[in-house]
Structure 1
Amino acid sequence: MKIAITGGTGFVGSELTKLLQQQGHEIFILTRKKSYSAKGIHYIQWLTKNAKPEEHLQNIDAFVNLAGTSLNEGRWTAERKKDIYESRMVATKEVLRIIRVLDEKPKVLVNASAIGIYPSSKAATYTESSRQVAKDYLGKTVMHWEYEAKKAEKFGVRVAMARFGVILGKDAGALPLMGLPYKLFVGGTVGSGSQWVSWIHIKDVASALCFAVENDRFIGPFNVTAPNPVRMKQVGEIIAATLNRPHWFPAPSILLKLALGEKSQLVLEGQQVLPKVLLAEKFHFEYSTLNTALENLYA
C-alpha cells in the first residue's frame, strides 16, 4: 500500500514508519522541509508557502494523521495551549484539503486522538461506546480534533480515530520522566496514587495503527490502550521493582500543581479506559501487562 503519514518523524510516527517499511509498504511522510527521498521513504513538503503535496500523493491508499504539538513538552501557558490546539486543527484541515483535491481518494484516514476526551474518574470505566466528554481544555481539544477529522467521510473515506493512552517508550513518551526519580533513588507515589493510568507500549501503538489501516471494520473511535490499566501507585511499584529501586518518596499533588500548572492533570488525574474495539477484532497485544512492557523497555 501507499501510505501518507503526517507527524511521521515524531515518537509514534517513527515507530509506525519502521513497522510499515518492514511490511513492505511505500511511505510518504509530510514535512515542512523540501521534498526528497531517502532510504526508501518519500518526504513531501507541506504547510509551507507554495507547497503542493497533492502533486506527490496521487493514488495514496491511506492517510495517518499524527501531526500536532506535543502535550508533554513545556508548561501549558496560554500560548502553548493555543499552539497545541491550532497545530492539530491546521494539520487536519490540510489533510482534508489534500483529500478533497486528489482525483483518487484514499480508502482510509486514521487520525490521532486521545483518551483525554473522557472525563477523569477513579470509579468509571470507559470504552468507545461511552458518551461522556470531558469539559476541560484537553477534552474540548480532542473533541474538536475528532469532529474535524470526521469530515473526510463526505469524500467517501473511512475515518478511524486512534484515542491514545499513556504511551510508553524507552527514550520518549511518558516513561523517561516517570522512571527518572527511581533511577535517582527518590521515586515514590505521584499524587494520591489512586488515579488510573491507561498505558500502552509504543510497539503495540504502531501495530494497532497498522491494524486499523488494514481492517475495514474500524470506523470511528478506537482506544489505543493496553487491556490492563493500573493505578498510579502500582505503576510506581512496578517501575521500582523492575529497576530494583526503592519506592518511598511521595510526590504530593500540591507540589506537582505548582511545578506543572494545568499540565499536572496528565499525571494527577486519569481514566480507566479499555480497548474494546481492538479486543473485539482480535488484535494481539504484544505487551498486555505493565510488568512485561517495562521488562522489555528497561532491558
Structure 2
Amino acid sequence: MKVAISGATGLVGQRLVDRLHKSHDVVVFTRSEAKAQKVFPASRYPNLKIVAYTPKTSGAWQDNISGCDAVVNLAGAPIAEQRWTASYKQEILSSRQVGTEKIVEAIAKATDKPKTLINASAIGYYGTSETATFDETSSLGNDFLAEVCQKWEAAAEKARESGTRTVILRSGIVLAKEGGALTKMLLAFNTFVGGPLGTGQQWVSWIHRDDLVSLIETALQSDAWQGIYNATAPNPVTMQQLSEALGSVINRPSWLPVPGFVLELLLSDGAKVVLEGQKVLPSRTQTAGFKFGFSTVKEALQDLL
C-alpha cells in the first residue's frame, strides 16, 4: 500500500509513520522539508518520500496524491498551545477546513485516485458538558470548536464525490509522553505541585496514542469502515480521577489543583479544552470490532510512564 500522510511530523503522525514505513510506501506532506528530514532520516526510512507542500494553497504538491492508495490527513494548528486571539482562531479553523479542502481537491484531480481518506477530527464536535454522555449519534455542539469540527468534517466528506471511502476519526485527548496534555501535567507533578486542572469534575475523554494509531491502521485496512468513529477509550474519567491515577503511577502527590483562572490567563478561550470537558463513548468504534489495547487510564499511564 502507498499512503500519503499530512501532519506526519506531529505527535500522532510520527508514530503512524513508524508503524507503516516498514511494510508500506509512505509519502509525507510537510511545510518544512528540513524538519521532516530530521524526523525521518533516509537511513531509517528508505521507503519514505518527503514532499514540501503549502497546505492551504493548490500547487504541484497535489500531483503526489495520484497513485496513492490512501491519504491520512492529520494536519491542523495546535488547539491548546497558545491564546486564542481572533487571528489564531482563524488559523485553527482555516488550517483544518482549507487544508482538508486542498487534500480533497488533489484527490478529485488525481488520475489514479486514492481509494481511502482517513481524516482527523475531534470530540469538540459535541460541545462540552459535565452531565451529558455523547457517542457518534450525538448532535453538534454550539461553540467555536464544534463549528471548527463541523466545517473540517464537511470538507473531508466531499471526497466521497470522487468515489473515495472516507473515514472521520473524532479523537479525544491523546496521551503520549512525548507531548500533548500529559507532558504539561508531568511538569507540575514532577515538581510536587501536581493536581487537577480547574474544578476536577470535568470529563476527560482520552486515548493512548498507540490505540489511535491502531485505529487509523484498522480504518485503512477495512473497507467496511466508513463515516464517523469516536477515537476515545471506552472509560472516560474526570480530571480528578486522571490526576489521581497519574500521581499514583509516578508516585507523586496530586492534591494541588491548578485554578481555572490561571489557565484562562495563559490561554484565554483555549483553556476551554481542559477546563470544560465531555464524556464521549466510542460506541460505533467498538461495534465495528475495534479492540482497545488500553481501556483504563491507569493502564495507559503505566505503559507510557
- Shorter-normalised TM-score: what interval? over 0.9
Task: Judge conservation of contact 2:199–2:259 (CA < 8 Å) in 1.
Answer: yes
| Pairwise CA distance, 1:33 | 4.5
**Is 1:21 matched up with 2:21?**
yes
Partner of 1:10: 10
Task: Judge conservation of contact 2:3–2:26 (CA < 8 Å) in 1.
Answer: yes
Task: Classify the secondary structure of the residue corresponding to 1:211.
Answer: helix
| Pairwise CA distance, 1:223 | 0.5
Aligned length: 296
Q: State how 1:1-299 maps to structure 2 within 5 Å.
A: 1-22=1-22, 24-33=23-32, 38=42, 39=45, 40-47=47-54, 51-131=59-139, 133-298=140-305
| Pairwise CA distance, 1:56 | 3.1
Report Cα offsets for 1:151-180 as digits up to 9, x if no partner: 111111111111010001111121001222
Structure 2: distance between partners of 1:265 and 1:288: 25
Structure 1: distance between partners of 2:58 and 2:3: 23
2:26 partner letter: I
| Pairwise CA distance, 1:252 | 2.1
Structure 2: distance between partners of 1:50 and 1:177: 36
- TM-score, normalisation: structure 2: 0.92
Report Cα offsets for 1:174-202 as digits up to 9, x if no partner: 10012221111011222121110000111
Deviates more, 1:46-55 or 1:214-223: 46-55
Report Cα offsets for 1:184-232 as digits up to 9, x if no partner: 1011222121110000111111110111111122211110011110011
2:198 partner letter: G
Task: Classify the secondary structure of the residue corresponding to 1:29.
Answer: strand
Structure 2: distance between partners of 1:289 and 1:190: 20
Structure 2: distance between partners of 1:86 and 1:142: 11
Structure 1: distance between partners of 2:174 and 2:143: 21
Structure 2: distance between partners of 1:65 and 1:160: 11
Taking only the aligned residue pairs, the percentage that are identical comes to 41
Structure 2: distance between partners of 1:256 and 1:71: 14
Structure 2: distance between partners of 1:239 and 1:245: 8
Task: Classify the secondary structure of the residue corresponding to 1:53.
Answer: helix
| Pairwise CA distance, 1:102 | 0.7
Q: CA RMSD in A?
A: 1.8
2:25 partner letter: E
Unaligned runs of 5+ in 1: none
| Pairwise CA distance, 1:50 | 8.4
1:26 partner letter: D
Structure 2: distance between partners of 1:5 and 1:245: 38
Task: Judge conservation of contact 1:45–1:52 (CA < 8 Å) in 2.
Answer: no
Structure 2: distance between partners of 1:50 and 1:82: 19
Structure 2: distance between partners of 1:215 and 1:124: 31
